[in-house]
Structure 1
Amino acid sequence: MPDPAAPPVTLALDTATPFLTLAVTWPGGERTFSEEVGRAHAERLADAVASLFAEAGVPFRAGRIVVGTGPGSYTGVRVGASYALGLGRAWGVPVLGVSTLEGLVGGAAEGRVAVSLDARRGQVYGAVYEVRGGVVAEVVHAPAKRPLEEFGALAGGLPHHRDVSPDGLALLRAGVKHGREAWELAYL
């Protein structure tokens, strides 16, 4: 019999970058998936999520969903948001939004970290975060589109995670810690 005090199964997904990033946690375990899919998120997402649950050995149902809200491509961000909202409605569970940039910090990062995604034409969409325990604890410089040189000066000599695959567990933990039920999508 499941422990009623145990945290629920949580699913996290992000389709804002060229990577399809997923994570699922449950009492006693966690599983992640990340693969560069280019623009094939819509074709790969549902099967990848079902496979992740099967590999984890947990029923295909979560108690909450965390979705990366971008910044990202218009279509990519909407694919993930639509899928998450559809599952949330079908399962009757909350869908918590968190910036995709928070997934770029990586699970092992500590201290101040700069993260950014290429926004083309010499621009980046970036932020600087204070990370504790692998989770964003404080926003030092809020996510915004800036010229690359300006962001470089803002980031100084900090570790800079640029155009990397989002870490599914970092995204999931950020969503559980401070994800919002009222969220908006951000585009590059």
Structure 2
Amino acid sequence: MTFSPAPIDAAPVTLALDTATPFLTLALAWPGGMRVWSAEVGRAHAERVAGAVAELFEEAGLPLRAERIVIGTGPGSYTGVRVGASYALGLARVWGAEVVGVPTLEGLVRGPDGVRLSESVAVSLDARRGNVYGAVYRVEAGIVAEVLHAPEKQSMEDFQTRAAGLPYFHDGAPSGEALLRAGLAHGQADWALAYL
């Protein structure tokens, strides 16, 4: 599956959020600007998400309203991914916004220092008991351009064989910007949540 990038400057006000990992990751884009925010919150997503979103809009000088919401669909803990999805769906109902989903793994495609990659990369999240939930993507300009190996749960050993020789990013904080750009480029309206 190959995707085409969408320019951020032409996009409507878009909020991206992910609660699938121990991090609460947010991004907000509007014509002419973008803000990102991420913090390790453990299991306190439900307590932190509303305040963090309001603060992000306030810092951007925008009214608390978006036309599109991008949700990281996991994999993640059962409670974690459902907190983000429930919050996004609630906002969408109030705002009349579209909600699109992208795998949380797409938020890991950027390197540890926010380096934009233009190559194939392997990404994974720990699925416990020697397993990972991993994928291999071709990345251009910091976002997924093609799915080479779709996200799936597999043994760490099998995934390391598949990822041999590729840059490999795992278990970090998802990038709000990468999630937002992926949502604009190829977010799915018929998304489903994935659990570790």
The question of a shared fold, defined as TM-score above 0.5 by the shorter chain, is answered with yes
What residue in structure 2 maps to residue 30 of structure 1?
Answer: 34
What residue in structure 2 maps to residue 122 of structure 1?
A: 130
Task: Please say if 1:93 is aligned against 2:101.
Answer: no
Is 1:132 the equivalent of 2:140? yes
Q: Which moved more, 1:107-116 or 1:49-58?
A: 107-116
1:6 deviates by 4.7
- Per-residue CA deviations over 1:18-38 (Å, capped at 9, x if unaligned) read 000000011111000000000
* Superposed CA offset, 1:3-47 (max 9, x none): xx9531100000000000000011111000000000000000000
- Determine what percentage of the aligned residue pairs are the same residue: 70
Local SS of the residue matching 2:127: strand
Taking only aligned residues, the RMSD between alpha carbons, in angstroms, comes to 1.1
Residues of 2 paired with 1:72 and 1:39: CA distance?
A: 11
> What is the one-letter code of the residue matched to 1:185?
L
Distance 1:157 1:171 in 2: 25
Render the CA deviation track for 1:74-129: whole Å, top value 9, x for unaligned: 00000000000000111111100000000110261221010000000000000000
| Consecutive unaligned residues in structure 2, runs of 5 or more | 1-8
1:39 aligns with 2:43: yes
1:167 matched to which residue of 2? Answer: 175
**1:95 aligned counterpart, secondary structure:** strand
SS of 1:120's equivalent in the other structure is: coil
- In structure 1, the residue corresponding to 2:92 is in which secondary structure? helix
- In the TM superposition, 1:1-188 aligns within 5 A as 6-106=10-110, 108-188=116-196
Question: 2:3 corresponds to which residue?
Answer: none
Number of residues of Structure 1 aligned to a counterpart in Structure 2 = 184
List runs of 5+ in structure 1 lacking aligned partners.
Answer: none
